Amino acid sequence: MELDEVTISRAILATQMETMTEYLELDVAVVGGGPSGITCAALLAENGLKVGLIEKKLSIGGGMWGGGMMFPRIVVQDGAKRLLDHFGIASTEFEPGYHVAKSVEAVSKLTAAACTAGAEFFNLIAVEDVVVKGDGRVSGLVVNWSPVEMAGLHVDPLTIRCRAVVDATGHDATISHMVARKGADLTIKGEGYMWAERAESRIVDHTREVFPGLWVCGMAANAVAGECRMGPIFGGMLLSGERAAALVAAALRS
């Protein structure tokens, strides 16, 4: 077979444009491809929901890739190890209650699980704004290519319609800040000092609907609540993503 460069280009354009057109309307938009966002997207897709994960960077995985200070290992506590097992991520027990996993394997298997479940990934796409209409709910996202934002170009965005949005944008809580700046009754307290025990024990409780149609998970949840940060222990991230998926799925079924 003789390879044709234009056929290769046409294949990429045709299939991706078909997918992007199909996903202009979806059940849940998860913004942020870190560990909590991927976990949330994977579990929502496993529940049969149409899920799109939007990530502004080229790579998926957030801070999990680098482990702690570029040592590619993460730690997960007892309560979250079942999620490592659920996604087939190998781990070893370092001391009682402390389970160590490889960062690259963790990101890869979480991402693969989300893809297998049916979630679609849209990387290099930034969210510029949210859609809120007469019912007062977040019902869509305004998106553009990340390089457009980085270059400061004046290029009009496009819009995605969705039934729910999950802010999994990490420390910045980007989507929550967008809503708050528009005058919504939403206070973002900002994350506190490093205190792993407190941050890990409270993050699931902070995972909630903070504005009609908008849920927060992962470090975005702690940032909104004014909670501490925890460093390279990732059990809370996984558990928060799981909690967000359960809350969103229940809300969409009601």
pLDDT tens-place string over residues 142-178:
999 999 999 999 999 999 999 999 999 999 999 999 9
Residue 8 within a domain: no
Residue 179 within a domain: yes
Per-residue pLDDT, 203:
98
Helix (H) or strand (E) holding 10: helix 5-22
Mean pLDDT of the chain: 97
Kindly tell me if the per-residue pLDDT of 32 is higher than 90: yes
Domain coverage including residue 120 = 23-253
The dihedral sign for the CA sequence 250, 181, 53, 172: negative
Per-residue pLDDT, 14:
98
Q: Is 155 annotated as a binding residue?
A: yes
Q: Is 17 annotated as a binding residue?
A: no
Residue 131 within a domain: yes
Residue 108's Cβ-count burial label (10 Å; 0-12, 13-18, 19+) is middle
Kindly tell me if the per-residue pLDDT of 254 is higher than 90: no
Per-residue pLDDT, 130:
98
Per-residue pLDDT, 221:
98
Per-residue pLDDT, 183:
85
Per-residue pLDDT, 167:
98
The structure's pTM equals: 0.97
Kindly tell me if the per-residue pLDDT of 42 is higher than 90: yes
Using DSSP, state whether 43 is helix, strand or coil. Answer: helix
Per-residue pLDDT, 184:
86
pLDDT tens-place string over residues 43-84:
999 999 999 999 999 999 999 999 999 999 999 999 999 999
Per-residue pLDDT, 198:
97
Q: What is the mean pLDDT of residues 117-137?
A: 97
Per-residue pLDDT, 158:
98
pLDDT tens-place string over residues 168-211:
999 999 999 999 999 889 999 999 999 999 999 999 999 999 99
Q: Is 103 annotated as a binding residue?
A: no
Total of domains in the chain: 1
Strands (E), the chain: 25-31, 51-55, 73-77, 92-95, 98-102, 120-123, 125-132, 138-145, 158-167, 208-211, 214-216
Q: In what order do the strands lie in the sheet with 98-102?
A: 73-77, 98-102, 92-95
Q: Is 127 annotated as a binding residue?
A: yes
Q: What is the mean pLDDT of residues 245-251?
A: 98
Residue 162 within a domain: yes
What residues are paired with 120 via a beta bridge?
A: 52
Distance CA 251, CA 253 (A): 5
Residue 98 within a domain: yes
Residue 18 within a domain: no
Q: What is the mean pLDDT of residues 90-101?
A: 98
Per-residue pLDDT, 59:
95
To the nearest 10 degrees (0 to 180), the angle between helices 78-86 and 235-253 is 70
- CATH code for the domain in which residue 93 is found: 3.50.50.60
Residue 40 within a domain: yes
Confidence of residue 117 (pLDDT cuts 50, 70, 90): very high
Distance CA 180, CA 174 (A): 10
Q: Is 100 annotated as a binding residue?
A: no
Residue 42 within a domain: yes
Q: How many CB atoms lie within 10 A of CB 79?
A: 15
In order of 92, 150, 184, 247, 254, the CA distances from 251 in angstroms are 36, 35, 21, 6, 5
Q: Is 156 annotated as a binding residue?
A: yes
Per-residue pLDDT, 169:
98
Q: Is 185 annotated as a binding residue?
A: no
Q: Is there a contact between 230 and 181 (Cβ–Cβ < 8 Å)? A: no
Confidence of residue 27 (pLDDT cuts 50, 70, 90): very high
Q: Is 219 annotated as a binding residue?
A: yes
